[in-house]
Amino acid sequence: MKNEKLAKEILDLVGGKENVKSVTHCITRLRFKLKDEGKANTDALNNHDGVVTVRQSGGQYQVVIGNHVSDVYKALVDIGGFANQAPEEEEEGSSGSLLNRFIEMISGIFMPILGVLAASGMIKGFTALFVALDWIDNTGGTYHVLNATGDGLFYFLPILLGYTAMKKFGGTPFLGMVIAMALVYPALEGIPDAGDSLYTLFSGTLFESPVFIEFMGIPVILMPYSMSVIPIIVSTFFAAKLERFFTKVIPSVVRMFLVPMFTLLIIVPLTFIVIGPIATWASQLIGQGTVWAYELSPIIAGAILGGFWLVFVMFGLHWGLVPVAINNMQTLGSDPILAMMFTHSFALAAAIIAVWIRTKNQKTKTLSAPAFISSMFGVTEPAMYGIAIPLKRPFIFTIISSAIGGALLGFFSTKAYVMGGLGVFMFPSLIHPEEGMNAAFMGSIIAVVVASVLAFVFTYFFGGFNKEEGTEEAPNKTETASLNKGETVEIASPIKGQVVPLQNVSDQVFSSEAMGKGVAILPTEGKVYAPVNGVVTTLFKTKHAIGITSENGVEILIHVGIDTVQLDGEHFAAHIEQGATIKSGDLLLEFNVDKIKEAGYDVITPIIVTNHDELGEVKITEKETVEANENMMTILG
C-alpha cells in the first residue's frame, strides 16, 4: 500500500496521467516525458517525504525516489494504466545531452582541485587588497611570497588539469601531467623574448604569426600555456586514446615505458603545432570581432562581452582581447573592451551568495564563501568551475546579468584608462584622468549594482534548488537495518584496484555523498564479488549497478563506472539474478575494463552504504590498493 500511495501522489503532482506521454525508470528514479512540464508541481515533489529530488534534464522530468523505484514504477503503471515499458534505455541521450555531458566533463575535471582553487583565489584577492591598502609593498619579499602562494596554482594550472583530465578520460594521470609540464616548460616560453623570429606565417592576415622554432621542419607557433585550460584538456583527450591504442599493440614486456614514450612523442608536438595555434587564432577572432561589434554598437558589444566573458575565460579565448585592449590604451589613451566585461565578477559573486543562502548541500555551502570572496576580487575560477557551472542555472543567470551590465557600460561609454586590477580593484582604472569620476564612471557603479541584483534575484528564486542541490539518485533510507550498538560489520572490497576517496569521483551524485557514505575503486580487474552475505535486492538490466542488503540490514550499492548505464549492458555479464541469496566472495558481475574505457566511459566504481545514517560510523581502509574480498570498510554501530 505504501508504494501505491506514493505512486498515486507522484502521478497527481506531475499533472495527472493525462499529462504523461511516457514513463520509464532507471535504478533510482522515475523518468517522465510530460506534455507540459509547467503543470508539474516541482516544489511539492521536492518537499515530499517519499521523493529525494526532482531533476529536469534532456527533455525528461526525473523523480528520484531511491532503490525501490521498480516497486513504485509497477504501482504507477497499474494506477495510470500505462504500458509497462522497458526500464530506462535512454538515460541521458535525449536532446541537450551533449551540453550536459560537456558541463559534467568540465566539472569532473575541476572537481578534485576545487578546495585549493578556492584557497588560491582567496590568497590572490587578499594580497591585492593588502597592496591597495598600502599594508604591504608590491616590491617587497612579503608580497612576492604571498603572490607566489596564491598565483602558483593558476600559473601551473595545466599541470593539475593534466592529471585530473587524463584521469577523467581513462588514461594514466601522470602522463597528463608530463604533457602539461612540456607546455609550460620555461625554456620554450622564453624563446619569443630571446631573439628575432625565423619568419612570419600568414603575413597581412588576421592569423599573422611569427615563427621562432620548427619541429622537424614544421613551423611551431608558440603561445603562453601557463594558466590555460583548453589546450591541456584537448591534449589529454587525444593522449588517452593514443595510450589505449599503444597499450593494445605494444608487447607487455616493454609496455611500461614504450607506451608513455610513444604517446608523448606524438601528442606534445601535436599540441604545439596544431592545438596551440588554433586556440591563438580563435582568440584573435574574438578580439577582432569585439572591435567590429563595438564600432557597430557599444551597447551590443557590451552585452556580448559582458555576457560571454566567463565563457571566453573557460576556453582561454579572453587572451585574444588583452592585446587589443593594451593597444587601445597605448594609441587611444583608453579602452572600452576590458571595461565592458567589468560586471561579470560581481554578477557571479551575487549568484554565489544566492546559492549559499538557498542550497542545502553542505559541500556547496562550504565552497560558496571563499568562491564569493575570490569573485569580488576578480578571481572567478573557483566560483565558476566549483559552483556555477556544475549547478548550470547560476552560470546561465550570471551570463544574462553580465550581459545586461555590459550593455549598460556600453551605454554610458565607460572605458578603462590604465591596466589595473580585477573585481573591486578595477574601479580606479575607470576613473577619467582629467574629468575624474564622471558620468561614465558613475555608470560603472550603476551597471555593477544592476548586474549583481539581477544575478542574485534570478538565482535565488529560479535556481532550481532541491533538497540536495547538485545531487541525484540519492536513495531513500530503508527501515530494515538491524545493527546493534557496539556491533561492527566488515565490508569486503568487491573489486580489485586502487582506492579512491568518494569526494574525488567526477559524478556529484556520488562525490557529494548524497547517496551515502562509501569509497570508490579504480578497477584493475573486471570482476565484482559479493562484499557481504546477503540478498541481491536490485540488479538493473544494464548490469552496471547492483544493490545488496546484508544479513545485518546494511544496504550497499555497487555502481560500475560513471554513466555506464548508456552502454545498455554491453561489456557487462551478470552471474546472479535479482533476489538471489549470496555469500561473501561470490562472483556477481564481470565487465570488460578496456572496452568500457574505449567507449569513452570512466570505470571508477563507487561502493556506497546507502543507509549509513541508521547504522553508525563508516570507516574506510587507509590502504591505497585493495584485493577483491579484502576488508575495505568497517561500520561501527
Most confident of 71-75, 243-247, 385-389, 475-479: 243-247
Among 118-122, 245-249, 394-398, the minimum mean pLDDT is found in: 118-122
Q: Pick the catalytic residue: 26, 68, 571, 612? A: 26
- Which of 189-203, 267-281, 327-341 shows the lowest mean pLDDT across its residues? 327-341
CB 33 within 8 A of CB 21: yes
Whether residue 165 has pLDDT greater than 70: yes
Percent of the chain with pLDDT over 70: 84
Is residue 70 over pLDDT 50?
yes
For residue range 497-512, list pLDDT tens digits in order. 999 998 888 876 677 6
What is the pLDDT averaged over residues 295-320?
81
pLDDT value, residue 377: 83
Strands (E) in 221-298, as ranges, are none
**Residue 511 carries which side chain, given as an amino acid letter?**
S
- The active-site residue, picked from 68, 344, 559, 612, is 559
The set of residues, in sequence order, having a beta carbon less than 8 Å from that of 212 and lying 6+ positions away, is: 191, 192, 195, 197, 198, 220, 222
Task: Report the pLDDT value the prediction gives residue 485, as an integer from 0 to 100.
Answer: 60
- Count H helices and E strands in the chain, helices first: 24, 22
Out of 23-32, 206-215, 261-270, 338-347, the most confident range is 261-270
pLDDT bucket at 86, cuts 50 / 70 / 90: very low
| Between residues 316 and 578, the one the model is more confident about | 578
- Is the model's pTM score more than 0.75? no
DSSP per position, 182-224: HHT-HHHHTHHHHS--SEEESTTSTT-EEE-EEETTEEE----
Would residue 559 show up in a list of annotated catalytic residues for this protein?
A: yes
104-142 pLDDT, tens digit each: 677 668 767 766 876 776 787 678 778 877 899 888 999
Domains with residue ranges and CATH for the chain: 2-95 (3.30.1360.60), 97-149+297-304+321-342+349-470 (no CATH), 156-292 (no CATH), 488-636 (2.70.70.10)
User: For residues 371 and 118, is the Cβ–Cβ distance under 8 A?
Assistant: yes
At residue 205, the pLDDT reads 79
pLDDT at 162: 93
